[in-house]
Chains A and B, each alone.
Chain A
């Protein structure tokens, strides 16, 4: 799994005592936007065969943003590859350092590490809120999740929220 929001979400659900399968479902649902990115990138990148198998893993928020901001296909390809390879190396190196370092930490709560994930999710969310509809959807989703939380197993509020988005999206207008 190489897609930050999904990785954070998977860990977040498990860390809150949720069912790992609920975490897996949330991670996959969060990753669904990468399919739309891939769709936009496929004509720009023009990758085929085995190279497509490698390029797929680099389809992310950041690589898509860098690739579609160029006005020539060769610059797009270079931006996609450079961003993707740099991110892949540094992200996974950072993950490894974090995994090793936390084993040496005495009390994660004293360092406020339980407040870090919500801050991270907020930072990931903020750039997506620049219009009225996503802002309303975000507020409604937060409310639905908190109302559902005491009544269902951990992790399930996220799935309820996802179902609500689908219902909202398919309604006739």
Chain B
């Protein structure tokens, strides 16, 4: 079932935003909270990049997605816009699958 988790996650994401605008400043001012919250997206996005590139299900694999990620990384380093990075990654995987 996807709808239950989806609705809960949506409500949570909205309540987090509302809390930021509503809570007194001191609630989020602790030094530990200030350190942890900016690092959470960094760590989770990095973990998502890794698991979505080097795994299928629960198996580690090395396939065309690794090359696609490398090309996407080059696009990022060249400061390409978001959409160009995504298309570069997808196009690399598609081309390699066509050729190999």
Contact = CB atoms under 8 A, between A and B. Distances in A.
A168 to B, nearest CB: 7
B42 to A, nearest CB: 5
Interface in A49-93: 52-53, 55-57, 59
B28 to A, nearest CB: 5
Contacts of A164: 43
Contacts of A33: 37-38, 40-41
A126 B76 contact: yes
Interface in A115-173: 115-126, 128-129, 133-134, 137-146, 149-150, 153-154, 157-158, 161-162, 164-166, 168-170
A134 to B, nearest CB: 5
Interface string B45-56: 111111111111
A36 B91 CA distance: 36
> Which residue among A9, A17, A34, A115 has the maximum number of chain B CB atoms within 10 Å of its CB?
A115
A65 to B, nearest CB: 14
B36 A169 contact: yes
Given A111-B94, A119-B86, A158-B44, A20 B6 contact: yes
B41 A5 contact: yes
Contacts of B1: 20
Contact of B47 (A24, A144, A153): A144
A144 B54 CA distance: 13
A119 B9 contact: no
A112 B82 CA distance: 17
A154 B57 CA distance: 7
A145 B45 CA distance: 11
Contacts of B6: 1, 10, 20, 24
Interface string A14-29: 1011001101111111
Interface of A: 1-3, 5-6, 8-10, 12, 14, 16-17, 20-21, 23-39, 41-42, 45, 47, 52-53, 55-57, 59, 109-126, 128-129, 133-134, 137-146, 149-150, 153-154, 157-158, 161-162, 164-166, 168-170
Interface of B: 1-2, 4-6, 8-10, 12-14, 16-23, 25, 28, 32, 34-60, 64-65, 68-69, 72-73, 75-76, 82, 85-95, 97-98
